[in-house]
Structure 1
Amino acid sequence: MSNNSTQPTELADDAVILDVRRQDEWDAGHAPTAVHIPFEELQDRLAELPSTDGPVPVVCRGGGRSSRATKWLNDNGYEAVNVTGGMKAWHAADKPMRSADDSEPEVI
């Protein structure tokens, strides 16, 4: 693990994380305490970044977009860490998830 990443198992089930996936991905399933700001909107919505006691964990589906978002945030004076493996790893670690319509959450 580098200083710029963390495993889902290292995060509390109620960790406040930044989810940078598309709306349809978010609707299908997300961490219950996540803040949703799609990657493409991140620069315009910085005021909505969650407050945390340390670096904000950033997640996407598999780790690509969140890795880019983490790098951009860190390069611009914010503290962020990439959640390795994204929501696929979060789900595989049996972390809590919910969907927008209360159906069975899934990672798409």
Structure 2
Amino acid sequence: MFHSSVPTVDVASVPADGVLLDVREQDEWDAGHASDAVHIPMSEFVARIGELPEAEPLYVVCRVGGRSAQVVQYLVAQGREALNVDGGMFAWEAAGRGLVSEGGEAFVL
């Protein structure tokens, strides 16, 4: 569920040099992701939070926005500036933002 307290931004407002944090699982990442994204799956997030770049804000994305909203809530509670990317990677792809994959054609899984 989304909560109105989750800071949200649309795909078009994510700056090209912004830090995009992708919290999808490995198979989703492998199918297609933004080329400069940082990948830390939600299932590993708390254990790997130390790997986050110091840059702020963090733009957090998943497939449609549910998992990333939860991660944004957690980050904000930790004192970090984070924004949920509205519509997730489906919106990213629909907006024509670039996707790459580990092999073959890139798509959102």
TM-score, L = length of structure 2: 0.90
In the TM superposition, 1:69-80 aligns within 5 A as 69-80=71-82
Say yes or no: does 1:40 pair with 2:43.
yes
Q: Which residue of 2 aligns with 1:106?
A: 107
Q: Size of the alignment, in residue pairs? A: 106
Q: Which runs of 5+ in 1 are unaligned?
A: none
Write the distance in 1 (CA, Å) between the matches of 2:8 and 2:76: 12
Which of these residues, 91, 95, 98, is aligned with residue 97 of structure 2? 95
- The ranges of structure 1 where at least 4 consecutive aligned residues each deviate by more than 2 angstroms after the TM superposition are 12-16
Find the aligned partners of 1:56 and 1:64 in 2 and give their Cα distance: 16
Which residue in the other structure is 1:5 paired with? Answer: 8
Question: What residue ranges of structure 2 are gaps of 5+ in the alignment?
Answer: none
Amino acid at match of 2:39: H
Report the Cα offset of residue 47 of structure 1.
1.3
- Kindly indicate whether the alpha-carbon contact (under 8 Å) linking 1:59 and 1:66 is maintained by their aligned counterparts in 2: yes
Q: Percent identity?
A: 49
CA contact (8 A) 2:30 2:102 kept: yes
Q: Structure 1-normalised TM-score?
A: 0.90
**Match for residue 67 of structure 1?**
69
